C-alpha cells in the first residue's frame, strides 16, 4: 500500500512539475527591423482563466508596420505563480519593432 502511494505521489509530482511554460511568437509584416523592444505584462487570476489586465500590443508597436510579438512566462512570472499557488499567473509580452 505504501509503495503504491509513493508511486502515485511521484507521478502527481512529475505532472505538476512538467506543466508547460509556453512561449508564443507572432510575426507581423516582415518582423523586427530595428530591434527596438518594449515589454508589457499581462495579469491573470485563477490559473490564467480570468484576465485582469492585458498589455495593448497595438499601443506598444505604435505606428510600426513590421514587428514581432512574443508572449512568454519569465522566471519572475513563474515564481509569482508558484508563490500564490496559481491564483495569480502573470505573463510577459515583448514587442520587437
CA distance 70 to 57: 10
Q: Please give the model's pTM, rounded to 2 decimal places.
A: 0.74
Domain that holds residue 77: 21-96
How many domains in the chain?
1
Find all residues with CB under 8 Å of 27, minimum gap 6, and list them.
Answer: 68
CA distance 20 to 47: 13
CA distance 69 to 77: 18
Report the pLDDT value the prediction gives residue 19, as an integer from 0 to 100: 63
Residue 16 domain-assigned?
no
Which residues of the chain fall short of a pLDDT of 50? none
Residue 50 domain-assigned?
yes
Amino acid at each position: 500500500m505504501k509503495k503504491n502511494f509513493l508511486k502515485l505521489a511521484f507521478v502527481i509530482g512529475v505532472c505538476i512539475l512538467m506543466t508547460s511554460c509556453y512561449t508564443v511568437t507572432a510575426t507581423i509584416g516582415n518582423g523586427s527591423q530595428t530591434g527596438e523592444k518594449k515589454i508589457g505584462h499581462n495579469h491573470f487570476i485563477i490559473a490564467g482563466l480570468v484576465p485582469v489586465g492585458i498589455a495593448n500590443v497595438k499601443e506598444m508597436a505604435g505606428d510600426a508596420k513590421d514587428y514581432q510579438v512574443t508572449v512568454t512566462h519569465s522566471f519572475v512570472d513563474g515564481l509569482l505563480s508558484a508563490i500564490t499557488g496559481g491564483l495569480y499567473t502573470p505573463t510577459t509580452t515583448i514587442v520587437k519593432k
